[in-house]
A and B are shown apart, each in its own frame.
Chain A
């Protein structure tokens, strides 16, 4: 896995993206100024706990959030020279599936239960390409075969509930790769799967990436998946990116206290397990009226008065970045977290 992303072409560039979601309790600033570049053929992971804005970021890029309740208020999503935030609905239809495809968490609910799996893949091919129904169907069978579904020609005529968990997710990947998109967004692709099947599905995903030469945005809260797959990692917290690192760097040298906490909370096989699993005490702040200072301050063991008052500037260190007032004192973080766990 090369970490030399600087020389690679940028495929997708998100700049200062803001997405609001209307709820009964008020407007949630679910994505609040997210920026990142996705390079050619890399796997970029977005990690964070539930509700931190990972999925909303992904759905905003494809403008798949319901218009009734959501709005991109600021920022841009550049796919090549095209700003997707300014593209019409009709224009977006030519992007979706064709240039950016999405793999959702649970294929059992993500694929239509009353249409045959092969037909659902063929449907997309027919919409975007000038082929006959028969050709599209043959193509669907080929794709199912490529993602390792045995007996693909027979399986293509089956319904999604007749597939096992791993096979479903393979079918979902076959659908996403059908038109060889530049970008694959995988939103928790293995969360619904057995651990034993997870690795196989991720393997298929990497194979597909190599075959069609696309880039992957991998959304997950599973740091184990990140370790095995990602080149670079974005850590999101409360609607913002608080740390960006190479996957290796994040594991060996996390900079933000939250990243420390996340890693700390991950049980490891090479360490003796203490009598309870570590966790980060507290809950993320409401994103209806987010605090003006650092959003992690209320849960942070090393927080000082300045953290509550001022949102930390993003500090760039080599190819990494972090938003913390005390990013230069990482050892503190670990010591304080350990003290927290012990107490």
Chain B
């Protein structure tokens, strides 16, 4: 088991190196943080030169990359190129916390609802419930977030005025306020959850249908168990395994993959930070975000694999 984990970690290192190089080169090619200085006539040339030299932007690209890499592996994420020299790590940390909160809350709720919907749909296969759930899932899955998000904003914020449209706190809010924070979480969370519920309920339905055909379900019935017990103890318990591992993988993906949702709701998470730093050519932030996204995908995939082994006694690692 430990060997397995170590081997998986070893495989990730070259992937991280390759991706960081790729992102660095493309970020340096397509955008220029020094550009806005060059264009601004009110900044004296000496100041520009000092700035460029201080950040090492005049050195060859591979030197810049290796410097960044050397700092990165010692835990130094560097400073932002455009945000007045702020440290990168606190910026990324706060974005990561916001995105994780959104991801975990949405996935938890989606998993619960998706499992229930999928189970009932499978047990009552081809019933009205099943047909409606199937249709609803395809609609929810097919509507992109930039549409569903805007519709949610239009209905619940603009028309009804129940919930805020964007951000994570009301303007002027100082410090932490649970109610205000949750209110800002509802709409982006719902936009995300609509898709996830659709996915998980379909997944659960398929998994459950397969399990319900299994011989051990018949054995469970032949023992005199109630149908509820057969479904919950012997059906759901087994059918849940692929769905839960899928959800774990999703957490990893969502850490980097909420670009549209966060943009629509101006939610200051990893996706929004990625976009902003990409446009600004702020490669220290861009690289830090990318590395964390890659790491989180990797870690959650590993977690999913380990979870599989915990949930399914048939699986052991060699």
Report which A residues bind B (CB closer than 8 A): 62, 64, 68, 89, 92-98, 101-102, 104, 106, 109-115, 123-124, 127-128, 159, 161, 175
Contact = CB atoms under 8 A, between A and B. Distances in A.
B29 interface: no
A127 B225 contact: yes
B28 interface: no
Contacts of B237: 114-115
Contacts of B225: 93, 123-124, 127
Contact of A97 (B222, B234, B241): B222
Contacts of B216: 109-113
Given A62-B222, A115-B237, 17 more contacts: A64-B218, A64-B222, A89-B227, A96-B221, A97-B223, A97-B224, A104-B218, A104-B222, A106-B215, A109-B215, A112-B216, A113-B216, A114-B311, A114-B313, A114-B314, A123-B225, A124-B223
* Interface of B, helix, strand, loop or mixed by DSSP: helix
Interface in B154-171: none
A68 B127 CA distance: 11
Contact of A64 (B221, B311, B312): B221
Nearest to A62: B222
B314 A112 contact: no
B314 A93 contact: no
B214 interface: yes
B312 A114 contact: yes
A110 B222 CA distance: 11
Contacts of A127: 223-225, 229
20 contacts: A64-B218, A68-B125, A92-B224, A95-B224, A96-B221, A96-B223, A97-B222, A104-B215, A110-B215, A110-B216, A110-B218, A110-B219, A113-B238, A114-B238, A114-B311, A123-B233, A124-B224, A127-B224, A127-B229, A159-B314
Interface of B: 125, 214-216, 218-227, 229, 233-234, 237-238, 241, 311-314
A114 B220 CA distance: 13
* Interface of A, helix, strand, loop or mixed by DSSP: mixed
A98 B224 contact: yes
Which residue, B224, B225, B312, has most C-beta atoms of chain A within 10 A? B224
A106 B216 CA distance: 10
Contacts of B314: 113-114, 159, 161
A115 B237 CA distance: 9
Contacts of A115: 233-234, 237
A93 B313 contact: no
Contacts of B229: 127
Contacts, number: 75
A73 to B, nearest CB: 21
A94 B224 contact: yes
B229 to A, nearest CB: 8
Contacts of B227: 89
Contacts of B233: 115, 123
Contacts of A123: 223, 225, 233
Nearest to A116: B313
Contacts of A64: 218, 221-222
B223 A112 contact: no
A207 B212 CA distance: 33
Contacts of B220: 112
Nearest to B216: A112
Contacts of A62: 222
Nearest to A128: B224
B122 to A, nearest CB: 13
Contacts of B226: 93
A102 B224 contact: no
Contact of A175 (B218, B223, B234, B311): B223
A127 B222 CA distance: 12
Nearest to A162: B313
A96 B222 contact: yes
A110 B216 CA distance: 4
Given A64-B218, A104-B219, A112 B224 contact: no
A114 B233 CA distance: 10
